[in-house]
Amino acid sequence: MARVEYEDVWKQFASQGAPAVRGLSLDIADGELLVLLGPSGCGKTTALRMLAGLEEPDRGDIRIAGTSVVGREPKDRDVALVFQSYALYPHLSARENIRYPLKLRKMSRAEQDKRVDHVADMLGIARLLPRRPSQLSGGEQQRVALARAIVREPRVFLMDEPLSNLDAKLRVHTRTELKTLQRELGTTMVFVTHDQAEAMSLANRIAILSAGELQQIGTPDEVYDHPANLFVAEFIGSPPMNLLEVTRDGDTLVAADGWRLPAPLTRERPAGELMVGLRPEAIAIKSEGHAAEVVAVEPLGSEVIVDVRIAGKALKVRAAPSVRPQPGSTVHLAVEPGGVRLFDRSTGSALH
């Protein structure tokens, strides 16, 4: 049982003015792959390090398998951490690196070697074992760091942006491998990243943080389709969600240049300053609809992103690869009612 719980955790560093982590509460199920997502400085790495035992919370509790681990040394928590820089021991061979945690636990030499070989095979690095970290490529070092974590068979895997230093192609490839690996091993994993695409493809659930506060936690589909606030709406999705300021007029929402959008059905009728969110794929270019000027066309092969301008605001629209309007020409936009998200402009939170 390796359930992980954060309960109202606060952390402030003396050198900084604002708390790094504010009242974080999370419940991570056994065997789940949870991604902590957010921009730099949002507190996700601090939250991870507190779980590892490298930092201690000022307030609140952190529990693994139901027992509080606050105050306990990292080694007593039975967690493994893969660092962004891999943090391999430079003076030891790859084999010695992987062996190290086992050596500390005073396992028999034979048992150590058996486990090391097993993990090395699993990750395909068996032939790299005699080499030193300086003789390995970035991707190879990363696997050695992974191996060192896996060989311990910990209760929880902690990953601090382990893929950030890899080149794009390797990153995508390793991402898939990691996801498969985690599923096979069945161990709870907490994964930190700032890359929303990475989070979407890896996670069972994503926890989005900003300025130390949890913004939303949900499956990738949930946070994509129903972002809880403007921050999440803008952070998730590439290209990001289009945002327009609107006012309510009965069942319609009116944008600055007169564009009328169907309001989503809600029990209350929120009035006042409102913001509408439209995913690029929720807008379609049709023969009739609201007029917009084409600014640029980005052909991406499998689709086309059309940059348009409405009332001085730039919007991105997803279209089929054959749609190629000329820059400067006018196109007509239509919106599906199901694609409209409503937000309160002042608080930022979603309104349905």
Amino acid 321 reads P
334 touching other proteins, by CB under 8 A: no
How far is the CA of 77 from the CAs of 5, 46, 155, 299, 338, in angstroms?
14, 17, 8, 50, 46
Using CB under 8 A as the binding criterion, the count of chain residues that bind other proteins stands at 35
Contact with other proteins (CB under 8 A) among 83, 131, 273, 297: 83
Q: Binding of other proteins at residue 5 (CB under 8 A)?
A: no
For helices 109-123 and 138-150, the axis angle rounded to 10 degrees is 130
CB atoms near residue 236 (< 10 Å): 23
> Reduced to 3 states, what is the DSSP secondary structure of residue 70?
coil
Nearest Cα to Cα of residue 283 among 239, 245, 248, 327: 239
CB of 49 to other proteins, least distance (A): 9
- DSSP letter at 178? H
Question: Residue 56, interface with other proteins (CB under 8 A)?
Answer: yes
Q: Note whether 61 binds other proteins by CB under 8 A.
A: yes
CB of residue 179 to other proteins, shortest distance in Å: 23
Q: How many residues does the chain have?
A: 352
Please state whether beta strands 213-218 and 205-210 pair in parallel, antiparallel, or not at all (unpaired). antiparallel
Least Cβ distance, residue 100 to other proteins (angstroms): 6
Among 40, 73, 268, 271, binds other proteins (CB under 8 A): 73
Q: Is 152 in the site for other proteins (CB under 8 A)?
A: yes
Binds other proteins (CB under 8 A): choice among 17, 66, 90, 328: 90
* Residue placing its CB nearer to other proteins in the complex, 104 or 311: 104
Q: What string of H, E and C letters represents the secondary structure of 196-238? A: HHHHHHHCCEEEEEECCEEEEEECHHHHHHCCCEHHHHHHCCC
Distances (CA, A) of 23 to 11, 17, 260, 336: 9, 16, 40, 38
Does position 104 interact with other proteins (CB under 8 A)? The reply is yes
Candidate list 12, 27, 70, 181; residue touching other proteins; CB under 8 A: 70
Q: Identify which range of 38-46, 71-79, 118-126, 313-321 contacts other proteins by CB under 8 A.
A: 71-79
Give how far Cα 344 sits from Cα of 106, 224, 292, 312, Å. Answer: 59, 18, 25, 21
109: contact with other proteins by CB under 8 A: no
Among 23, 39, 41, 60, binds other proteins (CB under 8 A): 60
Q: Using CB under 8 A, which of the segments 52-60, 174-182, 185-193, 318-326 binds other proteins?
A: 52-60
| Residue 6 CB, nearest approach to other proteins (Å) | 12
Q: If binding is defined by CB under 8 A, does position 27 make contact with other proteins? A: no
Q: Is 58 in the site for other proteins (CB under 8 A)?
A: yes
> Could you identify the residue written with the tokens 């991870």?
48
d(CA 138, CA 126): 16
CB atoms < 10 A from the CB of 122, how many? 17
Record the tokens describing residue 239, joined without a space: 């290209």
> Closest distance between other proteins and the C-beta of residue 66, in Å?
12
Q: CB 25 → other proteins: shortest distance, Å?
A: 11
The answer to whether residue 111 forms part of the interface with other proteins (CB under 8 A) is no
Residue numbers of the site for other proteins (CB under 8 A)?
7-8, 14, 52-61, 68, 70-71, 73-75, 79-81, 83, 85, 87-91, 100-101, 104-105, 148, 152
